[in-house]
Structure 1
Amino acid sequence: MSVSRRGRPAGPTGPVIGRALRLLDAFDAERRELTLSDLARRAGMPLSTTHRLMQELCAWGAVERGTDGLYRIGLRLWELGSLAPRGPGLREAALPFLEDLSRITRENVQLAVREGAEVVFVERIASSDAVPVLTRVGDRFALTATGVGLVLLAHAPVEVQEELLNGPIVRYTAKTVTDPAQLRRMLADVRSNGFSISDRQVTMDALSVGAPIRDRQGEVVAAVSLVVRHGSTTSHALARLVRTSAQAISRALSV
């Protein structure tokens, strides 16, 4: 399932940079390889302009062009992205605890951060027997539906909460909560209980329980969750494991 992309860049940096970013934004989890025509169409630009800009992006290493003529995201962007403090730094601190949680449960373990009005998944570990999930590392998803998303939304600034609760809320299944009043009560419960419950809100066979990860100032900077097959266990049994892992990751970030 594809998810909404960020807003298109604009402003005093000029149209060339903006158009180059639009070309990079044409790639997503479902479209990792694109032809020049595909890029031009998805970015809404003339083919000649697309060709010129893609040559420059290839020269810098932001994209690569294979022998089949298809364009792909280049390693230079991956190298640059590895410098983001909320990505690899958080992942490195959290990974030992995520792996422990995965070994204990043999279920899906997810680590995510909030960017604007969306969840960004930083890490995911799953055993071969775990329930299938829609998310992958680097994917974006609605804050209102997933276990990690509900945690991050519950601790987001009030203006972010109001923007999402007053706008259209994405429905994934018949169980997805789209009523703003009910969501407000759920977010209050997350803050009070210290964990979230997403019961069949994303797929009808999955239950997710999330917990907040805090920095040394006590601010919520990320969330961890377990995603299991619905009916296999209770949410409160999962909550103890998830909260313990979240607290351990929080301590590691504070060192």
Structure 2
Amino acid sequence: MRCTAIGKVLLAHSEPALVQEVLSGPLERRTLHTIVAPGLLRRQLLGVLENGVAFEREESTVGLTCVAAPVTVSGAPVSLAISVTGPVGRFRPDAYVAAVRAAGAGLGSVLSRHASPP
């Protein structure tokens, strides 16, 4: 959950007890880029809440980078996210921030309309 952009979005929007549990436990390294410092991960999670996106930079899989945004369905806690992933060297996740945010908002809007009674 903490090594992927989607996982970081979901973790950032989780109950504080779950965030604290993750930050308190051992942060296992999956690649050389995996964040294993609780303070750094906490700052990233706060950044997700502030900026509306999360990034992964080869933290779960060497060679892949990713940007993700929450899908917000009105009246519900965040339990969905959307992301775009690509190979390091050819994909620049920063260039897709606005598009991923817009896709998350659009999908959330559609789901909200379908969840509401007519």
Q: Do both proteins adopt the same fold according to a TM-score greater than 0.5, normalized to the shorter chain?
A: yes
Distance in 2 between residues matched to 1:221 and 1:156, nearest whole Å: 8
1:222 aligned partner, one-letter code = L
2:17 aligned partner, one-letter code = E
Equivalences for 1:1-255 in 2 at 5 Å? 143-217=1-75, 219-255=77-113
Larger RCO (CA under 8 A, 6+ residues apart): 2
Measured against aligned partners, the alpha-carbon deviations of 1:84-142 in whole angstroms (never above 9, x if no partner) come to xxxxxxxxxxxxxxxxxxxxxxxxxxxxxxxxxxxxxxxxxxxxxxxxxxxxxxxxxxx
Deviation at 1:235, TM superposition (A): 2.0
Distance in 2 between residues matched to 1:230 and 1:188, nearest whole Å: 25
**Runs of 4+ that moved beyond 3 A:** none
Q: Contact between 2:29 and 2:35, CA under 8 Å: does it hold in 1?
A: yes
Distance in 2 between residues matched to 1:227 and 1:233, nearest whole Å: 8
Distance in 1 between residues matched to 2:71 and 2:84, nearest whole Å: 14
Structure of greater Rg? 1
Query: Identity over the aligned pairs, expressed in percent?
Result: 31
Deviation at 1:218, TM superposition (A): 5.6
Give 5+ residue unaligned stretches, structure 1.
Answer: 1-142
RMSD after superposition? 1.1
Distance in 1 between residues matched to 2:76 and 2:96, nearest whole Å: 23
TM-score in terms of structure 1 length: 0.43
Distance in 1 between residues matched to 2:69 and 2:9, nearest whole Å: 6
Distance in 2 between residues matched to 1:249 and 1:218, nearest whole Å: 14
Give 5+ residue unaligned stretches, structure 2.
Answer: 114-118
Q: Contact between 2:4 and 2:60, CA under 8 Å: does it hold in 1?
A: yes
TM-score in terms of structure 2 length: 0.91
